[in-house]
Structure 1
Amino acid sequence: MKNTSSDIEEYLVNVPEERKEAFKKLIETISENLPSGFEQGKSSGMIAWQVPLETYPDGYHCTPGSPLPFLNLASQKNFIALYHMGIYADPELLDWFVSEFPKHSSRKLDMGKSCIRFKKVDDIPYELIGELVQKVSPQQWISLYEKLYKK
């Protein structure tokens, strides 16, 4: 479900009622734990945390002139999705997350390359998400991004 809201408050208005509280708590968890230097905004119809152009003027190679994406949060048709580019780019971080997840949730981990899907809002491991987002600073993300993706 692509949300085309122009700002975050409008986006939240359009999140289904049964997910709204969990969605807000995820925003809060991410915002409180993410290292300083990322900025919150909107990207690709989702709530985003990104490296601003002031910090990384080269921006995102796929969309020149736009901030470097790092995290996105979306309310999809059947789940809440957390897109974490660090998990996609760093196998050690992915391994850490996969091994930690069962310690924080009785549910089976449901994820793609960078997308962690939460179908049941009662099973979202907020503490683990907080730990995950603490693990990569903007400078670390820029270095990894340049090493892996920038030509």
Structure 2
Amino acid sequence: MSLDSTALDDYLARTGAREPELRALDAVVRSSAPSFEPVLTEGMGTSLLGYGLMPYQTKSMKEPSEWPVVALAARKNYVSLYISAVQDGEYVAVRYADRLGKVDVGKSCIRFKRLDDLNLDTVREILADLERRSLAGEKLYG
């Protein structure tokens, strides 16, 4: 299920001043992990532009759901790049935190105020690896 360009443009237009950053990140994700189909979803208290839906179930969930491996969200004071994946038992965002630039990193969230603060080469490397792992059938979530 691919996101059509009209829905994408509508979503990005609603992000206001963050639109150029999200458009640039959208291009990075699509070029680095082209098999991760874009979708619009709700989560983390906002609308997200997600990529690469995968089955997901927490212990408290009765039925499995789907969640994007990668997602973007515009916040009032920053942009969030969510990478919901683990590698060797460690959250990917945490694993690469020292190479991501002038950012704030949580378990699966990379927050930054300006796109120039984010090391896009490292993001491209992470995304390409996630796509490779996904296409090989590896489970990306813990």
Q: TM-score under structure 2 normalisation?
A: 0.72
Taking the aligned partners of 1:89 and 1:112, their CA distance within structure 2 comes to 17
Given that 1:60 and 1:69 are in contact with CA atoms closer than 8 Å, whether structure 2 keeps it comes out as: no
Measure how far apart 1:87 and its partner are.
4.9
Of 50, 70, 80 in structure 2, the residue corresponding to residue 48 of structure 1 is 50
% identity of equivalent residues:
24
Aligned length: 128
Higher strand share: 2
Name the SS for the 2:39 alignment partner.
strand
Residue of structure 1 equivalent to 2:123: 129
Counterpart of 1:42 in structure 2: which amino acid?
Answer: L
Decide whether aligned partners of structure 1 residues 121 and 84 sit closer, same or farther in structure 2, where only a CA change above 3 A counts.
Answer: same
The 1:11–1:141 alpha-carbon spacing in structure 2 relative to 1, beyond 3 Å, is farther
Q: Aligned in 2, Cα 1:140/1:68: closer, same or farther, shift over 3 Å?
A: farther
| Rg larger for | 1
Q: Deviations over 1:84-131 (max 9, x none)?
A: 011588417445412323xxx3x2x30111110011233232222111
Tell me the equivalent position of 2:96.
97
Q: Which amino acid aligns with 1:81?
A: S
Cα RMSD, aligned residues only:
2.9
Q: Which has the higher helix share?
A: 1
Question: How is 1:11-90 mapped onto 2 (pairs within 5 angstroms)?
Answer: 11-17=11-17, 19-34=18-33, 36=35, 38-44=36-42, 45-51=47-53, 59-61=55-57, 62=61, 64=63, 66-87=65-86, 90=89
With the length of structure 1 as denominator, give the TM-score of the two structures: 0.69
Q: For the structure 1 residues 50 and 63, does the alpha-carbon distance in structure 2 shift closer, same or farther, using more than 3 Å as the test? A: farther
- Give the letter for the 2:112 counterpart: F
Q: Distance in 2 between matches of 1:49 and 1:27?
A: 9
Report the AA paired with residue 98 of structure 2: S
